Amino acid sequence: MSHLILVRHGQSEWNLQNKFTGWVDVDLSAQGKLEACKSGEEIKKIGIKIDYFFCSYQIRSINTLKLIQDTLRNKITPEKAWELNERHYGSLTGLNKDEMKKKLGEKKVHEFRRSWNLKPDPLKKNNPYHPLNIDIYKSIPKEKIPDTESLKDTYDRVVKYYKTNIEKKIQNEKNILISAHGNSIRSLCKFLFKLDEKQITKLEIPTGNPLLIKIDRDGKITECHYLDKIRAKDLLVF
């Protein structure tokens, strides 16, 4: 039996301001830090030894994981992967979601946020929010850095990374914790739970609430639930 714990980072400063964040490197808000610490406490309660930790390149994911590990008193060096980054929102990056609803209509903004293969317009490369202009991405080959992404694009990179770097560890009954983002975790859930394109549009991932997934030797999910039941969201499958 292996345990896979998925944690969306705690509330970020731009979550608080209701902005499209994507690949912009925004830190946790005060509430987000509390959510991350609470995540660590919830994980500590279940008494599972974590063998490997993963996070994205983004500071809100990194700092969420750091606060969790501090709570667990676990100093294992995490593996950082840009493939676990949030979805790139293209030209919507940095814009207020409510203002865009007024401008484009609520239906169109919902399509941009939740559709499977619809991309916003590309973000111009000279924009300061473009990943090419953010220092933490300097080590990534330029041809791999997106200007915009659909959820399908995010799914493709996240699942490829999972299959290459994490799946074998799960098969070897290791316990894994991944600190990532709403859309990278939604992508993993689509893959793990075999959700179709319509189901994935309905899946909401709460900030700072660990999702515990138990997987048997045959790769079958036997149990899945949020550790903080008060803030849990509908999983669609369990």
- Residues 189 and 238: their CA atoms lie apart, in Å, by 12
- Residues 225 and 193: their CA atoms lie apart, in Å, by 13
Three-state DSSP class for 97? helix
- Residues 201 and 113: their CA atoms lie apart, in Å, by 9
Locate all alpha helices (DSSP H) within the chain, ordered by sequence. 13-16, 30-46, 59-72, 97-104, 106-114, 151-165, 167-171, 182-193, 197-200
Cβ proximity of 72 and 47 under 8 Å: no
In this structure, the strands spanning 79-80 and 52-55 are parallel
Active site residues: 9, 86
- Residues 67 and 122: their CA atoms lie apart, in Å, by 34
